[in-house]
Amino acid sequence: MRHLLATRDLSYDNALAILDTAQEMATVSDRSIKKLPTLRGQTVVNLFFEDSTRTRTSFEAAAKRLSADVLNFAVKTSSVSKGESLKDTVQTLEAIGGDAIVMRHWASGAAQQLANFGWSSSAVINAGDGTHEHPTQALLDAFTLRNRLYGTEATGKDLNGLHVVIVGDILHSRVARSNVWLLHTLGAKVSLSGPPTLMPVGVNTWPVDVNYDLDALLAQRVDAVMMLRVQAERMAGAFFPSPAEYTRGWGLTNDRYQTIAGTDTLIMHPGPMNRGLEISAAAADSAQNTALEQVANGVSVRMAVLYLLLAGQLGQ
């Protein structure tokens, strides 16, 4: 495997290899000197056509912890504004020495085009493409779940038997799609809940249960409830009557949070959080919310992905 483009086609063995390698990488982050010489002499290019806080900075931290050089390409001040194409931009960055391209793009399928149309000779890592996929987010979510479940005994284990509920704006969410495929591959049961207007066409073909009644779902045994950000920037029209009505139906409000507070149910959020819309401040700030743990685990998972791709240690 040369690229990481999606979790839909990520094999069980490669998913476990990434999670197990991330487990080893996490020990580096616990040291006073957080560095390995593994990727010395290699260059990782961060090419972000959409804004990011977590993904971009954690890829940079991951590459630096492996001693790679990092080029942070600022799309907004680049010759992209003069009309330079994606292909020419990438080939220019490779001429400067890029070995891996970490790309976030507003177009679904952009990473596949880069990798499969012969536009790039580098390892391509999809850091989020439109509403399609965000594979490293799903891997860090799985890593977080596995660590919470198995602690230091996590290596080699999958998520068989877990029940994860993904809530909210499924339609626009690449995080939801990547999580659905990866959780399914790792043996977890996935339920989706959200307004009918924010469920994708064809969701009935996905390996999930759909239940529009979030309270009924939370009354079941749930290992994790993953709250999604309402992606207002991708909504051309109105998908729900008002923010208050969205929150009443599908927000993790204080009342709903009280029904799971103190239980083993984890609250997850990929960030950034819309406090007061999809999640209340009480739920967001609670010890059950793993959002910051997810961010920290993202560095280990991205170290693992960079290492395995650049060292060529993943199977097909």
Residues in contact with ligand CP by CB under 6 A are: 52-55, 128, 134, 137, 270-272
Q: Which is nearer to ligand CP, 31 or 275 (CB)?
A: 275
* Smallest distance, ligand CP to C-beta of residue 304, A: 17
Question: Minimum CB separation from ligand CP for residue 56, in Å?
Answer: 6
**Known binder of ligand: residue 270?**
no
Q: Residue 8 Cβ, how far from ligand CP at the closest point, in Å?
A: 18
Closest CA to 226 of 155, 166, 272, 168: 166
- What is the nearest approach in angstroms of ligand CP to the Cβ of residue 220? 27
**Closest by Cα among 146, 155, 181, 149 to 5:** 181
**Helix-helix angle 54-65:12-29, to 10 degrees:** 70
C-beta closer to ligand CP: residue 119 or 143: 143
Which whole-number Å values give the CA distances from 87 to 63, 72, 83, 176, in the listed order? 23, 17, 12, 28
With respect to ligand CP, which residue has the nearer C-beta, 74 or 311? 74
271 known ligand binder:
yes
21-55: string of b/e by CB count within 10 Å (b at 16+)? bbbebbebeeeeeeebebbeebbbbbbbbbebebb
Residue closer to ligand CP by CB (options 249, 298) is: 298
Say if residue 137 carries a ligand binding annotation: yes
**35 annotated as belonging to a binding site for a ligand:** no
* Least distance CB 155 / ligand CP (angstroms): 25
Concatenating the DSSP letter of every residue in 239-296 gives SSS-HHHHHHHHSB-HHHHHHHTTSSPEEE--S---BTTTB-HHHHTSTTB-HHHHHH
112 is in an annotated binding site: no
Annotated binding-site residue? 229: yes
Question: CB 272 → ligand CP: shortest distance, Å?
Answer: 6
Choose between 175 and 208: whose C-beta lies nearer to ligand CP.
Answer: 175
Q: Return the number of the residue (137 or 280) whose C-beta is nearest ligand CP.
A: 137
| Residue 148 marked ligand-binding | no
Residues annotated within a binding site for carbamoyl phosphate = 54-55, 104, 134, 137, 271-272
Residues annotated within a binding site = 54-55, 82, 104, 134, 137, 174, 229, 271-272
